[in-house]
Amino acid sequence: MSIRFDAADAHWRVAPLPGLSAAQKDWLTRGGSLTAHLRALGPVAVRVTRECVALPWADECAALGITPRAPVWVREVVLSVNGVPFVAAHSVTPHAASVGVWQATRRLRTRPLAELLYSDSSVARSALVSRKVTARHPLYRLAACEIGDVSPQVLLARRSVFERHRAPLMVTECMLPALWAHLAVSSELRSSHEGVASLAHAAHPRMREHGRSLEHTASRAHSAPRSSDGRGR
User: Cβ contacts of residue 192 below 8 Å, gap of 6+?
Assistant: none
Residue 124's pLDDT is what?
97
pLDDT tens string, the chain, 233 residues long: the values are 679 999 999 999 999 999 999 999 999 999 999 999 999 999 999 999 999 999 999 999 999 999 999 999 999 999 999 999 999 999 999 999 999 999 999 999 999 999 999 999 999 999 999 999 999 999 999 999 998 766 678 899 999 999 999 999 999 999 999 999 999 998 888 766 555 555 555 555 554 444 443 333 333 333 444 444 444 44
Q: Tell me the residue ranges of DSSP E strands in 8-144.
A: 44-54, 72-81, 84-94, 123-125, 129-133
Residue 187's pLDDT is what?
82
Annotated binding-site residues read: 75, 113, 173
Exposed, middle or buried, 108 (CB in 10 Å: 0-12/13-18/19+)?
A: middle
Neighbour tally for 133: CB within 10 Å: 21
Class of domain 22-186: alpha beta
Q: How far apart are CA 130 and CA 123, in angstroms?
A: 21
Annotated binding-site residues for substrate read: 75, 113, 173
Asked if 90 and 51 touch (Cβ cutoff 8 Å), the reply is no
Q: How far apart are CA 87 and CA 158, in angstroms?
A: 11
Domain chopping of the chain, boundaries: 22-186
